[in-house]
Amino acid sequence: MRRAFTLIELLVVIAIIAILAAILFPVFAQAKSAAKVTSSLSGIKQVGMSLHMYSTDADDTCVYEYGSAPYTSTDTWVGKVMPYVKNRSIFWDKTKREPNRDVLFDPYYNDNYRWEWATNFSLNVDGYSRAFSGSCAAVNWSSSTQRTLTGIENIAERAAVMPTQYGRLDYGWHRFYARDASWPYIDEYIDGWSWENVVWDARKTYPASKLIVAFADGHAGKAGREKFIGYSRLDSRNTEAANITQYCNLFNSRGLDRFWGRSWAND
């Protein structure tokens, strides 16, 4: 005679399955997240290598972030290096959702951008692409010179490309300024556009808040909180630099110029 499960036995089995699921699902989620970070790291390394190939063909000149064309053009550094990678997905951070359309709508400014303007992987303008003049405390943004690859000091430590996040949107922006990005609002995420937080906010989707980086020599790695100087509008105890003088002192004493570059110097 066959003996059926009792209700108690069935409930015990269901409870065991539920406990196992509660244990394993976070593990699976972490594994999936780690796989996305690994995929993004591979992609940003290919982007870094494409910058090298571009400079080789451009007499050592680093790529310019964009020309004078409108947002609907392909005239950004992304469009310039696209022939070397031939893969649009390479420019998108895999920890975020890649848009499946060529023109992206910006609800904050009621504007449209071609995807080459709004990728998640973004170029370090003043630390890698161009050099301005002045000093740390007073950068002259009115004129610039194009950097050369061989002219960059500490090339293996200089950030060329990093992920960005534009508010709550799927995409970032094709460029960032190291001067702003290195000094973010440290304890908040910005729901909208912010030159200061466009890189910092990309940390949302990264385990332990370690951001991936393509360095100027072509290799890829990660960077953490130690590369940023904090400013807080919410709690003054979280502020490391409350003014430009304090910022410059910390920027120099921590040797952050090796990572971000010096906006005001062609090195």
Ranges of the chain whose pLDDT falls below 50: 27-29
Give the helix/strand (H/E) hosting 131: strand 130-134
Q: What pLDDT shows up at residue 231? A: 97
Cα–Cα distance for residue pair 239/258, rounded to 1 Å: 22
Per the rule left: phi > 0, alpha: psi between -120 and 50, beta: everything else, 192 is left
Cα–Cα distance for residue pair 50/62, rounded to 1 Å: 11
Contact 180, 200 (CB under 8 A): no
Q: What pLDDT shows up at residue 27? A: 46
Q: What is the DSSP string of 163-177?
A: E---TTSS---SEE-
Please report, to the nearest 10 degrees, the dihedral formed by the alpha carbons of residues 97, 102, 106, 111 taken in order: 180
Sign of the dihedral through C-alpha 220, 224, 227, 230? positive
Give the helix/strand (H/E) hosting 12: helix 7-57
Cα–Cα distance for residue pair 114/66, rounded to 1 Å: 13
Q: What are the pLDDT digits (tens) for 216-258?
A: 999 999 999 999 999 999 999 999 999 999 999 999 999 999 9
Q: Which residues contact 105 (CB under 8 A, 6 or more apart)?
A: 111, 112
Q: What are the pLDDT digits (tens) for 41-58?
A: 999 999 999 999 999 999
> From residue 112, how far is each of 13, 33, 266 by CA, in Å?
54, 30, 34
